[in-house]
């Protein structure tokens, strides 16, 4: 019975990988990921209600090794969506503080449930009947997190706990990678001289995002739209500025009530003033 769910898990990973992560709206991308995972979980639930496990060992394997992988992906994408929405846009320091706080919160779950983590890490099996059978005697862990309806026919007492570990570990890895990127960019000190050819972007990040999207939309690179992420990566290196959560910044730009492109408009106005000035002195 477990071979079919394993194939569905592999198919889900392929479909998630096939989604274009470099979308203009990263929140929409995460929403698509969540919808794909939810569809797979619903497919899995329908399968469980119609099929039967060949024995308790197969049921234990399903709720210990297979189903938590589906639920873990749901937890990962759902929490990441929340993080994208809450990430402060003020400065890099605020973003680093936010990421560190979220990592601590995620790691605290494992610390709080250290006995169960110990059981899983040592690959013990003596409590599997209580933990991973639907009629197991263990009480499900109660904690703040993803809210879900506990359906006894679709969960074993500790299957969601493993899913939480899976999702949290994926998220910790993602946030640490973002922290590493932020730490790699250090604002040059005003007292330290830089090379003549070094240029650091000193306007705000939102202004740079305006410019990146405008350049991509106009197809100024390679006679085509090369993609936001590709341009952002280049500009990060050239202008010594990390571009984290660029899609959320773009979302905020689109939702502006007044002028949605103040930086680009300021460039136009400044260029026109420069032309008028040069015209005056050229006469």
pLDDT of residue 151: 61
Task: Please check the confidence at residue 8 and state whether its pLDDT lies above 70.
Answer: yes
The tokens for 16 are 């998630």
Task: Please check the confidence at residue 143 and state whether its pLDDT lies above 70.
Answer: no
> What is the band of 23 on the pLDDT scale with cuts at 50, 70, 90?
low
User: What is the model's pTM?
Assistant: 0.69
For all residues of the chain together, what is the average pLDDT? 84
Of 122-126, 157-161, 235-239, 249-253, the poorest mean pLDDT is in 249-253
132 close to 159: Cβ distance less than 8 angstroms: yes
Query: Is the model more confident about 184 or about 41?
Result: 41
59 close to 134: Cβ distance less than 8 angstroms: yes
pLDDT of residue 193: 43
Task: Please check the confidence at residue 1 and state whether its pLDDT lies above 90.
Answer: no
Of 105-109, 225-229, 241-245, the poorest mean pLDDT is in 241-245
> What is the band of 223 on the pLDDT scale with cuts at 50, 70, 90?
confident
Tell me the mean pLDDT in the region 70-86: 92
Task: Please check the confidence at residue 254 and state whether its pLDDT lies above 70.
Answer: yes
State whether the Cα torsion 61-62-64-70 is positive or negative. Answer: positive
Q: Is 30 exposed, middle or buried (0-12, 13-18, 19+ CB in 10 A)?
A: buried
Distance, CA of 259 to CA of 114 (rounded, Å): 52
Taking CB atoms within 8 Å and a gap of at least 24, the contacts of 263-272 are: 263/203, 263/206, 263/207, 263/210, 263/211, 264/210, 264/211, 264/214
> What is the band of 204 on the pLDDT scale with cuts at 50, 70, 90?
confident
Task: Please check the confidence at residue 191 and state whether its pLDDT lies above 50.
Answer: no
């Amino acid at each position: 019975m477990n071979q079919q769910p394993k194939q569905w898990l592999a198919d889900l990973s392929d479909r998630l990988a096939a989604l274009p992560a470099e979308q203009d709206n990263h929140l929409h991308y995460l929403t698509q990921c969540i919808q794909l995972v939810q569809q797979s979980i619903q497919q899995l639930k329908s399968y469980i209600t119609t099929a039967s496990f060949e024995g308790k060992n197969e049921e234990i394997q399903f709720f210990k090794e297979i189903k938590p992988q589906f639920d873990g992906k749901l937890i990962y994408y759902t929490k990441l969506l929340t993080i994208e929405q809450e990430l402060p846009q003020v400065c890099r320091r605020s973003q680093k503080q936010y990421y560190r706080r979220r990592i601590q919160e995620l790691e605290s779950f494992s610390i709080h449930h250290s006995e169960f983590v110990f059981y899983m890490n040592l690959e013990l099996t003596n409590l599997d009947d209580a933990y991973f059978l639907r009629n197991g005697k263990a009480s499900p862990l109660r904690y703040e997190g993803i809210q879900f309806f506990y359906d006894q026919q679709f969960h074993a007492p500790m299957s969601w706990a493993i899913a939480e570990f899976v999702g949290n570990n994926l998220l910790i890895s993602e946030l640490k990678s973002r922290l590493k990127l932020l730490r790699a960019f250090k604002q040059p000190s005003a007292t330290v001289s830089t090379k003549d050819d070094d240029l650091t972007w000193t306007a705000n990040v939102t202004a740079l995002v305006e410019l990146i999207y405008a350049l991509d939309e106009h197809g100024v690179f390679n006679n085509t739209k090369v993609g936001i992420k590709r341009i952002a990566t280049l500009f990060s290196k050239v202008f010594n500025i990390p571009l984290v959560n660029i899609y959320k910044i773009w979302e905020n730009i689109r939702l502006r009530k007044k002028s949605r492109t103040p930086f680009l408009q300021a460039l136009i106005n400044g260029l026109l003033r420069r032309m008028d000035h040069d015209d005056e002195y050229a006469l």
